[in-house]
Amino acid sequence: MSNTDQTLANLLQEDRRFDPPAELAAHANLTAEAYDRAAADREGFWAAQAERITWAEPFTQVLDWSDPPFAKWYVGGKLNAAYNCVDRHVEAGRGDKVAIHFVGEPVGDTRSITYAELQDLVSQAANALTDLGVAAGDRVAIYMPMIPEAVVTMLACARIGAPHTVVFGGFSSDALASRLEDCQAKVVVTADGGYRRGAASALKPAVDEARTKAETLGHTVEKVLVVRRTGQEVEWDDSVDVWWHDAVDGASTQHTPEAFDAEHPLYVMYTSGTTGKPKGILHTTGGYLVGCSYTHWAVFDLKDDDVYWCTADIGWVTGHSYIVYGPLANGVTQVLYEGTPDSPERGRWWDIIEQHGVTIFYTAPTAIRSFMKQGREIPDARDLSSLRLLGSVGEPINPEAYVWYRHVIGGDRTPVVDTWWQTETGSIMISPLPGVTAGKPGSAMIPIPGVAAEVVDEEGKPVPNGSGGYLVLTEPWPSMLRTIWGDDERFKETYWSRFAKQGYYFAGDGAKKDSDGDLWVLGRVDDVMNVSGHRLSTTEIESALVSHPKVAEAAVVGAKDEDTGQAVCAFVILREEAGDGGDDIVAELRKHVRKEIGPIATPRQIMIVPELPKTRSGKIMRRLLRDVAENREVGDVTTLADSSVMDLISSGLSGGKGDE
Ligand code: WT7
């Protein structure tokens, strides 16, 4: 057996299936015929999806792929993204529809904004940015809390053709400075601070520091526009700093949106590379907007009366595509929440769902697992019956977390769509369709209509059903990244060189095809372990651990082993109701993995820990866990969301319990 086949021999068995609710299937936005329609004429299909958008000038060619991997979509078309997200809904008589139900973290701090009001706000901000000297093509950095002004600023930038780069508010001044320098941002929009975990946390000081650091890198930021959110004291430099309420509140609400080329840059989103400096992923206007609008409508089966909530931060691509551009292009009513799930207490998210009658809810597996850990009494105490569809994004969702999500949050009524995509893909690529697909817990299923994906071997040949390999996208798609900002070579090298002969896009994930041909994303190929010549997926073993009733969350890494090359080491967080798990917990869990997957996957070590090291976007940092597992000094922790976590883990371990 080859290595890839052996991965397969160790498959978790998952037999549960969840059919689409009959009522949903009967009125679904997309039905099964869309797969064939799209496959028969992919470009024709994407031409039809482009009709969701209002074009100032029609395109003359759907796709120009004459110079791969540099794509041009909707060639010759002109449009304004902000007009599409705001004005056209007002013109269509829907100005009184609520666009955003803003919920601040302090209880009672709410504000609802209609599309007509949003149009005024975006126009004012566009006029103010223009007055500050921002012109089409200039870059604007946004470093803000999750408040309506953040959305307004993104749309105002789009309206005047100034690409934005949103930097997550949890990032340090160093991270901000390097991004300001890399994209040569002319203006920064920020706030004095925002509310997180029950307190006002500052943002403006980091901008001041970043501006000084950017200066030493040879880049000067001209203006800083500051929203007063918390009323904190701020340092002020009159030559640079401008209050939002001075510049925007008094600006005219009249602003004529200019039409830009379909390939005009819309934004740059930085994402971490495996090494060195972050990559500025460039998305352009027409194809990106079509991709976001279409997928948001199809995958969430969006209806006019839905109340939608995506819990991502606008500092990540999920916030760009599924809070701002997709939902607003579709004229949705949505919730925007500033704070953390546990402030002022653990039921906050469920309170928000109950209060606003949220019907579609989109969040990440890391959040779901933390709710599993806390126990179901908390959501059970709220009325969540408005929910009709649940989504997951960001990492593989373990089958057990999927079932818990569907059962406890969705009351067994709601389909769960496990959506696979990346910052680079711009919009959802692989997902169930809620009115078509019988869902399998843990599988993202198949590419959505219009998207072509494969699982291939080392040589780029499709693997048969029942095998694993590299996940590739085999055809260009409208919302694809166009390049890495300022670095076409790195773009080619990073994404298009591995399968250059075939012309496939590969961005680092491994996947397997089950016996039905459905896809199971296994996570980054760098995370795959090799134990005695068997390729084992970290995700799979983690899912086996999470399927044990006492386990809330697990992270698995391969550690060097004299006998087997690598050995499986697991870090496990127990559910609160399980207490300390009992004296035999480690033996019990090892036995469980052996039963679920097989002896080859049995962890050599299991460590019970209070927390796991995660990046600010919730991804487990396995590199640090490998350091622990291999008894090394723990490496660079600067990208951790909470840098004290590694201390917690180490101190917990020296307490004794865990190792076998
Ligand atoms: C990576 C992309 C997608 C927007 C948020 C993260 C992992 C994402 C899934 C999923 C399994 C997933 C992949 C991917 N990932 N969604 N449904 N199942 N893995 O964007 O930070 O660019 O990360 O997240 O490894 O490559 P990102």
Q: What is the pLDDT of residue 657?
A: 36
Which residue has its alpha carbon closest to ligand 1 atom 19? 395
588 sits in the region (left: phi over 0; alpha: psi -120 to 50; else beta) called: alpha
Pocket test residue of 521, 524, 526, 619 for ligand 1, highest count of atoms within 8 A of CB: 521
Other CB atoms within a 10 A radius of the CB of residue 271 amount to 16
Cα separation, 419 vs 393, in Å, equals: 5
- Minimum-distance ligand 1 atom for the alpha carbon of 321: 4
Q: How far is the CA of 552 from the centre of ligand 1 (A)?
A: 21
Return the ∠ at Cα 449 (arms to 445 and 446), rounded to 5°: 10
Q: What is the pLDDT of residue 618?
A: 81
Percent of the chain whose predicted confidence (pLDDT) is above 70: 96
Pseudo-torsion of CA 348, 616, 416, 376, nearest 10°?
-40
What are the tens digits of pLDDT across the range 248-260? 999 999 999 999 9
Contact between residue 154 and residue 164 where contact means Cβ atoms under 8 Å apart:
yes
Q: How far is the CA of 625 from the centre of ligand 1 (A)?
A: 20
The DSSP element (H or E) to which 629 belongs, if any, is helix 622-629
Alpha helix positions (H), 360-509 = 365-374, 377-380, 399-404, 488-496
What are the tens digits of pLDDT across the range 175-188? 899 999 999 999 99
Q: What is the pLDDT of residue 595?
A: 87
Cα separation, 210 vs 263, in Å, equals: 30
What are the tens digits of pLDDT across the range 298-312? 999 999 999 999 999
Q: How far is the CA of 615 from the centre of ligand 1 (A)?
A: 13
Model confidence pTM above 0.85: yes
Q: How far is the CA of 246 from the centre of ligand 1 (A)?
A: 40
Segment 25-42 mean pLDDT: 98
What are the tens digits of pLDDT across the range 467-501? 999 999 999 999 999 999 999 999 999 999 999 99
Question: Residues with Cβ within 6 A of ligand 1?
Answer: 271, 317-318, 393-396, 418-423, 444, 507-509, 521, 523-524, 617
Segment 97-120 mean pLDDT: 98
Please report where in the chains the tokens 């000297």 appear, as a residue: 133
Least confident of 79-88, 218-227, 244-253, 506-515: 506-515
Q: How far is the CA of 528 from the centre of ligand 1 (A)?
A: 16
Confidence band for 640, pLDDT divided at 50, 70 and 90: confident
Domain boundaries of the chain, sorted by first residue: 548-654
- 419 pLDDT more than 90: yes
**Annotation: CATH topology of 548-654:** GMP Synthetase; Chain A, domain 3 (3.30.300)
- 658 pLDDT more than 70: no
According to DSSP, the β-strands at 98-103 and 333-337 are: parallel
Which residue has its alpha carbon closest to ligand 1 atom 18? 396
- 446 pLDDT more than 70: yes
